[in-house]
């Protein structure tokens, strides 16, 4: 198991470490899950995202390779832009979802949830004039999330943060330390992601926590990140999708662009569209507050219609949240269902075809 650059910093805030994604990661800090979640929604939090995998693709064929790997279209993306996409195999099944960053004319960075993706990317790159580099251990990421994130960061940086558009990034310095600041996140709130050399991790952490003290900043651990991302509708590899999942059933068909030239899995995805999906991603609102777990069955009456992929308790809504796959015929807004929990208890739930928190995705676009 690896330790992130923020491991010791986390322990100072009472982190309860667990083994996740090949790392020791904080599941909860001393403030507790509820405060970490609510602070992100109402003010500002800081989250260790060092475990995210980062790969650089550079060379004359960088764009052609990216266009072949990604279901989304990067032909018109300019330097400083970020775009979400899926990467699929020839059968249209997802290798992963990820973001791809345009660093320069012939240089891109892929950030995904699994370092295992690098072997697949490198294999696809064999016939292209590019160099691929796994920089996961050299770079690190801190997310500063919440409606007051800009107030915390602005006094610390040498650029005007309002000039960074949504899903854009700019190079900057934080108290003299070089970094890349991106306007994005994984919480459903406005915020930033800070990318910099791993060795600067503890310094940046301390600087942000000090600057955020007047706003009651709190570090945000994995339990809170789970409840935040689930109610906002963000997928997690290994939970909500794997290599037996296609983008359309996972609800990210918007990131598949058939209008561009060929890409890996294009023909298979076109066939899936013609034939229709066999399941669909939905959200479950559980008024009792019970927490559903991966694998819990979803029923209408006594008929099984689907299965839970992720579940948590939402301190914002004071209800249970779950993401699940159901038969498309039952992907009906406000459908009454029951979730069979691990203790055999049935929890009533209401089905939604949209994320339960800010379904219009407006909060990510502006700060308080």
> DSSP letter string over 104-139?
ETTEEEEEES-TTHHHHHHHHGGGSS-EEEE-TTTE
156 with 31, same domain: the answer is yes
Segments forming the whole domain that contains residue 193 = 2-49+137-230
Q: Is 197 helix (H, G, I), strand (E, B) or coil?
A: strand
120 with 141, same domain: the answer is no
141 with 86, same domain: the answer is no
pLDDT at 368: 78
Give the list of residues 6+ apart from residue 97 with CB closer than 8 angstroms, or none: 84, 85, 86, 87, 112, 113, 235, 237, 241, 247, 250, 252, 255
- Domain of 92: which CATH number? 3.30.70.1400
Is 238 inside a domain boundary? no
| Residue whose tokens read 């899936």 | 272
Is 363 inside a domain boundary? no
Cα gap 48→168, rounded to integer Å: 20
Q: Is 346 helix (H, G, I), strand (E, B) or coil?
A: strand
33 with 171, same domain: the answer is yes
9 with 158, same domain: the answer is yes
Token pair in block for residue 11: 């322990």
307 with 330, same domain: the answer is yes
Token pair in block for residue 52: 């995210």
Q: Which of 167, 195, 230 is the last residue of a domain?
A: 230
- The β-bridge relationship of strands 94-104 and 131-134 is unpaired
Is 357 inside a domain boundary? no
Cα gap 358→185, rounded to integer Å: 14
100 with 196, same domain: the answer is no
155 with 200, same domain: the answer is yes
Is 323 inside a domain boundary? yes
Token pair in block for residue 164: 């960074």
pLDDT at 285: 99
| pTM of the complete model | 0.96
Is 266 inside a domain boundary? no
Q: Which of 211, 230, 249 is the last residue of a domain?
A: 230
Is 366 inside a domain boundary? no
43 with 145, same domain: the answer is yes
Q: Which of 129, 159, 185 is the last residue of a domain?
A: 129
Report the number of distinct structural domains present in the chain: 3
59 with 172, same domain: the answer is no
Cα gap 118→314, rounded to integer Å: 34
Is 175 inside a domain boundary? yes
Per-residue pLDDT of the chain (368 residues; tens, 9 = 90+): 999 999 999 999 999 999 999 999 999 999 999 999 999 999 999 999 999 999 999 999 999 999 999 999 999 999 999 999 999 999 999 999 999 999 999 999 999 999 999 999 999 999 999 999 999 999 999 999 999 999 999 999 999 999 999 999 999 999 999 999 999 999 999 999 999 999 999 999 999 999 999 999 999 999 999 999 999 999 999 999 999 999 999 999 999 999 999 999 999 999 999 999 999 999 999 999 999 999 999 999 999 999 999 999 999 999 999 999 999 999 999 999 999 999 889 999 999 999 999 999 999 999 97
117 with 157, same domain: the answer is no
Token pair in block for residue 163: 């000039």
157 with 26, same domain: the answer is yes
- Domain of 324: which CATH number? 2.40.30.110
Is 237 inside a domain boundary? no
Is-contact 308 292, C-beta < 8 A? yes
């Amino acid at each position: 198991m690896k330790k992130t650059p923020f491991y010791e910093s986390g322990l100072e805030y009472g982190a309860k470490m667990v083994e996740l994604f090949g790392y020791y990661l904080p599941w909860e800090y001393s403030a507790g899950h509820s405060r970490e979640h609510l602070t992100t929604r109402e003010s500002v939090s800081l989250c260790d995202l060092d475990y995210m995998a980062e790969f650089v693709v550079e060379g004359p064929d960088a764009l052609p390779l990216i266009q072949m790997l990604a279901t989304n279209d990067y032909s018109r993306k300019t330097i400083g832009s970020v775009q979400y996409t899926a990467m699929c195999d020839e059968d249209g099944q997802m290798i992963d979802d990820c973001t791809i960053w345009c660093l320069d004319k012939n240089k891109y960075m892929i950030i995904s949830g699994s370092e295992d993706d690098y072997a697949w990317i490198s294999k696809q790159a064999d016939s292209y004039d590019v160099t691929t580099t796994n920089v996961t251990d050299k770079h690190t990421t801190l997310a500063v999330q919440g409606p007051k994130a800009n107030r915390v960061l602005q006094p610390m940086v040498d650029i005007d943060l309002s000039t960074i558009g949504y899903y854009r990034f700019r190079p900057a310095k934080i108290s003299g330390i070089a970094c890349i600041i991106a306007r994005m996140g994984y919480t459903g709130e406005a915020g930033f992601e800070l990318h910099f050399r791993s060795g600067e991790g503890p310094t940046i952490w301390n600087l942000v926590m000090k600057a955020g003290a007047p706003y009651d900043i709190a570090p945000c651990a994995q339990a809170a990140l789970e409840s935040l991302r689930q109610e906002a509708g963000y997928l997690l590899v290994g939970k909500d999708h794997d290599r037996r999942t296609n983008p359309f059933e996972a609800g990210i068909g918007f990131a598949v662009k058939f209008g561009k030239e060929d890409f890996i899995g294009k023909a298979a995805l076109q066939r899936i569209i013609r034939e229709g999906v066999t399941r669909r991603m939905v959200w479950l609102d559980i008024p009792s507050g019970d927490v559903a777990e991966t694998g819990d069955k979803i029923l209408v009456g006594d008929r099984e219609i689907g299965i839970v992929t992720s579940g948590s308790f939402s301190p914002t809504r004071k209800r249970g949240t779950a993401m699940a796959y159901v038969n498309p015929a039952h992907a009906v807004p406000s459908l009454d269902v029951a979730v069979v929990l691990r203790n055999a208890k049935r929890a009533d739930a209401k089905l939604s075809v949209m994320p339960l928190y800010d379904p219009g995705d407006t909060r990510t676009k502006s700060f308080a």
